[in-house]
Chain A
Amino acid sequence: MNSSTTATRRQNVPHTSMFVRMLLRAAVMRRGRAASALVAMVVAAAVATAMLNLYIDVQAKLRKEFRNYGANVVVVGHDGQQLSSDALQNVNSVIAGHGLAVPFAYVVARTSDGQSVVVAGTDFEQVKRLDSWWSVTAWPAGASDALVGVRAANVVSPHGEAFDLSFQGKTIHLQSAGTLRTGASEDSRVYLPLQQFENWTGVQPSTIEIAATGSPEEVNSVIAKLSQAVPASEVRPVRQIMEGEARVLGKTRATLLAAAGLIILTSALCVLSTLIGWVLDRRRDFAIMKALGASERLISGFFAAEAAALGAVGALLGFTIGIGVAAWIGRVNFHAPVIPRFNVLPPIFVGSVAVALVAAVIPMSLLRRVAPAVILRGE
């Protein structure tokens, strides 16, 4: 009774489901070998995903580090003239959050004993972010607080006392809030809050330093837009910063690409050797199927489908793990997670399936030449 129902059920089941059942059975029954092949596949796909993801994202990560070098674009008035009063506003609307713009105004003032010193007015909150390398003992907080360069400090306020500066007959009384050390011309200057500076001298900013984020093309388009947005000015890239960045970034990416290529190659080899072993290991299945009358096309199709399924599952699992690894590397090294790039998935998927298929085809062509009887006899 029971056996007859099974028989009718078997008759009703279409031919294709036998194929699927064999696939599933093969995976479940020979768990050990299938698992080791799958592990190899997953690891390879994970490593490849992590490397490709890192390769794509490292540019953005390193660019962020390179922005610490400060401004890569400067807007200056023609021949050192003051910029129009809405210049900063125009600049900010052009860069629209993709960067930082800091105004600087300069005059040469006199100290109380008649020495010349360059005084600059700027926005301290922005400078702090733009010029992170400034070594400052204490940032000014009050309106009459000044930030004094270490060399200027020797002249205007050697002991940190309050001092007077005069410009075109107008004198201002300033507190020395802290000293500034950069190793460049900033060391010889006195920095004031811009508002205070303008009230005292009546001079508007003549320079706007901009740290524009993005690729060289994006920065160049910002430069083009700025020259239109700010009339009577010169907009120029800081070549020192831009070229250095392009160079170092290019070399790093090239090294990473070479490394990624090598790693993916070795992982592919790993998968290949494991899968070849896996298929060779099943030569008895092959022989039995052949002995039972399966056509070579069917058997090839069966092994190929098995390999492809393995490749596909391995690629998906590996992709997930690889994204995690890339994020971890980003967190450890750059203190910011690497953003998952889903456009890496198609090449990983196609590559994994292709490697799996190749790994199935090689042993198949070896087995095809052997008569099933020889295999079944265990020779």
Chain B
Amino acid sequence: MFVRLVYESFRRQKRRKMLAAVAITLGVAVATAMIAVATDIGDKISRELRSYGANLVVTPQEDTLDLQIGGVDLKPPSDGAYLNEADLPKIRGTFWHHNIVGFAPMLPVQTSLDGKNATLLGTYFSKQLAFGKEEFVTGVRITHPWWKVQGTWPDDNSSDVLLGETLAARQGEHVGGTIVLGNGSHRVTGILSTGGPEDNQIVAPLSLAQQVVGKPGAVRRLYVSALTKPEDALARRDPKSMTAEMYDRWYCSPYVQSIAFQLQEAIPHSHAEQIRQVAQNEGTVLSRIKGLMLLVTLASLLASALAVSAAMATAIFERRTEVGLMKALGAGNVAIAALFFVEAALLALMAGSVGFAGGMVLARQIGKSIFDSQIAIEPVLFPIVLALAVVVTFAGSAFAIRRAVKFDPVYALRGEG
């Protein structure tokens, strides 16, 4: 009888339940989408923050002092130590290699252009490299996203070059022209604009810079762009003073410090350091945005819960006559409450499932349109969201059910509600 009551009530009173079902569906969809966005926003924003460029720099361990003023390197090429280009792919073998978005080696050398001193900067643009069987692409186009080229980027295996925009304007060079350096003439495939010292330099494939300076395989500095976890107390500790267990935890967390440590392990005779301007501020900005989204998600959960409760209350309130009839026929308060609660639970489960699917689509749309990438939805979210939907629906119904049950059947049947 109870089952039949529930079944019939579900089958017959569709219109009355529509509003509640729509509210639950929408509420669950919004809650799902917001939870998905909030859990993923850290990762997404941290990728966006990579547009600030590299957060780690690797230099030779035995290096002499940099003599750099306004980005112009005054150090003679004979001076100081170099990293070996052949060691670079080993970065892909480090523990946190999935977090390393890209890296770019730099080799500034002095050369002369039309009789005047000029700096030639050798680097990777988007170089194809292999580590073991794994192939990957890296270079300044990934690590320095604010570099803009008018024309085309040179091929990494060619001897074509880019001219900085200030230098190009001074020389009267255009895209497609040629410049003569010490060892021959080179095609200018593009004009580079960076807003930095490179605007006054010639930027060329690394191999060309190595030829010019006569040091094959030499790299002066290596910029690494890595996804990191904001620094905390553990991150700042000296790994030498840690217990074994603590060290493992430190080593296996993507702190900028532990990634620097692993880079040093991967590249012989190197010293890796965080670029504090980028690395330190990243953490603050990230935690602010994450905090903001968390609070906004709470607000959205609250709004969804209220919408569901309100709709349930309305739906039940409308059925007072029915309650009166049931009571007049001798149904106990418990039986009536049970009927409503089972109905509410069924409604929450059904509308909740639809809402969850809708929320997934919504989250995907948000991810695609804002971040150009998928927002991952953990399957574990499904039972959690459903349970939440049931709890909220119950909570929303409870007050209305209590009032409906307490109502005198005589008044209800006479229609004096």
Contacts and interface: CB of A to CB of B under 8 A. Distances in A.
A263 interface: yes
B293 to A, nearest CB: 7
Contacts of A239: 146, 193-196
A155 interface: yes
Contact of A70 (B53, B194, B277, B303): B277
B51 A155 contact: no
Nearest to A182: B276
B30 A265 contact: yes
Contacts of A256: 292-293, 296
B299 interface: yes
A229 B367 CA distance: 45
Contact of B275 (A47, A184, A276): A184
B252 interface: no
A182 B277 contact: yes
Contacts of B41: 255
A270 interface: yes
Contact of B57 (A184, A263, A378): A184
A172 B63 CA distance: 26
A248 B281 CA distance: 13
B371 interface: yes
Interface in B100-123: none
Nearest to A260: B296
B416 A47 contact: no
Contacts of A61: 288
A184 B288 contact: no
B195 A62 contact: no
Contacts of B281: 65-66, 68-69, 133
A273 B19 contact: yes
Interface in A257-294: 258-260, 262-263, 265-267, 269-271, 273-274, 276-277, 280-281, 284
Interface in A65-115: 65-66, 68-70, 76, 80, 106, 108, 115
A251 interface: yes
Contacts of A44: 303, 306
A116 B41 CA distance: 47
Contacts of B317: 277, 281
Contacts of A69: 52, 277-278, 281
Given A58-B292, A255-B293, A263 B65 contact: no
B67 interface: yes
B79 to A, nearest CB: 9
Contacts of A58: 292
Interface string A150-189: 0110010000000000000000000000000111110110
B276 A377 contact: no
Given A248-B48, A270-B311, A115 B65 contact: yes
Contacts, number: 236
B288 A334 contact: yes
B197 to A, nearest CB: 10
Contacts of B27: 266, 269
Contacts of B65: 115-118, 151-152, 155, 188
B74 interface: yes
Interface in B44-79: 44-45, 48-49, 51-53, 56-57, 63-70, 72, 74
Contact of A244 (B49, B68, B273): B49
Given A155-B65, A188-B65, A270-B23, A183 B310 contact: no
Contacts of A185: 66, 68
B284 interface: yes
Interface string A111-134: 000011110000000000001011
A182 B275 contact: yes
A118 B51 contact: no
Interface in A193-237: 206-207, 236-237
A237 B195 contact: yes
A332 B317 CA distance: 39
Contacts of B321: 378
B22 interface: yes
Contacts of B146: 239-240, 243-244
A241 B145 CA distance: 11
B415 interface: yes
Contact of A378 (B69, B273, B413): B413
Contacts of A254: 369-370
Interface residues of B, number: 81
A171 to B, nearest CB: 19
Given A115-B65, A239-B146, A266 B30 contact: yes
Contact of A133 (B277, B289, B300, B416): B277
B337 to A, nearest CB: 20
Contacts of A131: 277
B150 interface: no
Contact of A263 (B51, B300, B318): B300
A35 B367 CA distance: 39
A280 B306 contact: no
B284 A76 contact: no
Contact of A276 (B19, B53, B56): B19
A210 B289 CA distance: 25
Contacts of B34: 259, 262
B406 to A, nearest CB: 13
Contacts of B51: 243-244, 247-248
B99 interface: no
B67 A118 contact: yes
Contacts of A262: 30, 33-34, 300, 362
Given A118-B66, A256-B292, A270-B303, 19 more contacts: A62-B288, A70-B277, A76-B70, A117-B67, A118-B65, A183-B276, A184-B277, A206-B70, A236-B199, A244-B49, A248-B285, A255-B37, A256-B296, A259-B296, A262-B30, A266-B27, A273-B23, A274-B310, A274-B314
Interface of A: 36, 40, 43-44, 47, 50-51, 54, 58, 61-62, 65-66, 68-70, 76, 80, 106, 108, 115-118, 131, 133-135, 151-152, 155, 181-185, 187-188, 206-207, 236-244, 247-248, 251-252, 254-256, 258-260, 262-263, 265-267, 269-271, 273-274, 276-277, 280-281, 284, 325, 329, 332-334, 375-379
Interface of B: 19-20, 22-23, 26-27, 30, 33-34, 37, 41, 44-45, 48-49, 51-53, 56-57, 63-70, 72, 74, 144-146, 193-196, 199, 273-281, 284-285, 288-289, 291-293, 295-297, 299-300, 302-304, 306-307, 310-311, 313-314, 317-318, 321, 362, 366, 369-371, 413-417
Listed from nearest, the 3 A-B pairs whose CB atoms lie closest are A378-B415, A277-B314, A239-B195
27 contacts: A40-B306, A65-B288, A106-B69, A108-B67, A115-B65, A116-B65, A116-B74, A118-B68, A133-B279, A135-B276, A183-B56, A183-B273, A185-B66, A188-B66, A207-B70, A239-B146, A262-B300, A263-B303, A266-B27, A267-B303, A273-B19, A276-B314, A277-B314, A277-B318, A325-B299, A333-B292, A379-B415
